[in-house]
Amino acid sequence: MIRSFLKDTDFSRSEAAEVFDLAYRYKTMRSAGIIDVLRGESWGLIFFKKSTRTRLSFEAGVYELGGHPMVMNASDLQLSRGETIEDTAKIMGRFLHGLVIRTFGQDIVEDFAKYSGIPVVNALTDLLHPCQSYADMFTIMERFGGGIPNVESLKGRKLVFYGDTACNMAYSLALAGSMFGMNVVLCGPEEFKPAPVLDSLFAEAHLPSNYTFCSDPEAAARGADVLYTDVWVSMGKEEEKAERIKIMSPYQVNEKLFSLTAENSIFMHCLPAHAGEEVSEDVLRGPRSIVFDQAENRLHVQKAILSTLVSKNRQAAKM
């Protein structure tokens, strides 16, 4: 069976640790040039949503692994004229060696994986953002593990996510953080609390849910090692902007919240950020912020994810 990376829990804890070790090697040896992991392979990068970091990191990553990245806007494909995902996936499986997809419903990446016969990587859905959460775990390890990714450095660390806690980023951080023993707090208004689907994801992965929901921003910040936030208005929800800003304003990450955190605490954001809304300008641009380290690490971690998938699928094919 071809393995894909559609959810944060599709790698076991030990496999994820291997991904982080490989990402560290890729990061430190990047100047050495092309690695032939994907030599002779063509990978499709399908975008149903606009993208900056995801497109740049995956396109560069496939190239740096020796492969040929083929970037496709979903609106340019026959999908936009009614061709089914099943038929599209079967055709792509005949032409390509793998797919990276940034889209809306989780069912879309699952259907591509089901029908294509090639590995599929979830580059973001409305449900989960596993490549980002893995890059975030790697970045936290760098900061608290002395520059070297050691999963034990995550154990017991407190991460607080502020804002819409029923979003893909909150869910992926809860899953990935729990895998490595972090204490994840999802903090936001009651009307934006996590949906039951999050607990279903934990149950499906046989993973104890090590997250809590809190509606008090100051209580959540106390003793935190990481304060994390995302935009309050996601793509496709622009018509809700005024109401969301009004409801979310008490959950802005600012210096007042950081005054309650642990020593050496850090600020994280998956970007793009709207300074003055979900985060104050001084925090976003201040010394606690490691948002650009996060963004860079998308490249290294995603290269490691692709390499690990290819390696495990090749090993399975030989058995």
| Range scoring the smallest mean pLDDT among 46-50, 152-156, 241-245 | 241-245
Render the burial of 269-288: b for 16+ CB within 10 Å, e for the rest.
bbbebeeebbbbeebbeeeb
Q: For residue 123, what pLDDT band results from cuts at 50, 70 and 90?
A: very high
Catalytic residue among 8, 106, 131, 132: 132
Whether residues 38 and 91 share a domain: the answer is yes
Whether residues 77 and 176 share a domain: the answer is no
Pure H helices in 145-195: 168-179
pLDDT of 129 > 70? The answer is yes
Whether residues 116 and 49 share a domain: the answer is yes
Q: From its phi and psi, is residue 126 left (phi > 0), alpha (psi between -120 and 50) or beta?
A: alpha
Angle in degrees, CA 190, 228, 231, rounded to 5:
70
What pLDDT, on the 0 to 100 scale, is given for residue 125? 98
pLDDT of 240 > 90? The answer is no
Which residues span the domain enclosing 47?
A: 8-128+295-318
Does some domain include residue 307? yes
Whether residues 149 and 284 share a domain: the answer is yes
Catalytic residue among 244, 298, 300, 302: 298
* Sheet (strand 42-47) strand order: 68-73, 42-47, 98-102, 120-124
102 is catalytic: yes
Catalytic residue among 53, 97, 102, 300: 102
What is the pTM (predicted TM-score) of this model?
A: 0.96
Catalytic residue among 129, 143, 157, 300: 129
Whether residues 177 and 222 share a domain: the answer is yes
Whether residues 196 and 159 share a domain: the answer is yes
Examine residue 250 and say whether the peptide bond preceding it is cis (omega within 30 degrees of 0). Answer: no
Give tens-digit pLDDT for 107-117. 999 999 999 99
30 is catalytic: no
What is the percent of the chain with per-residue pLDDT over 90, rounded to a whole number? 92
Q: How many domains does the chain have?
A: 2
What pLDDT, on the 0 to 100 scale, is given for residue 234? 73
Q: What is the rounded CA–CA span in Å between residue 174 and residue 12?
A: 15
> Quick count: other Cβ atoms within 10 Å of Cβ 12?
11
129 is catalytic: yes
The CATH number assigned to the domain holding 272 equals 3.40.50.1370
Catalytic residue among 53, 230, 269, 302: 230
More confident residue, 173 or 147: 173
Whether residues 195 and 311 share a domain: the answer is no
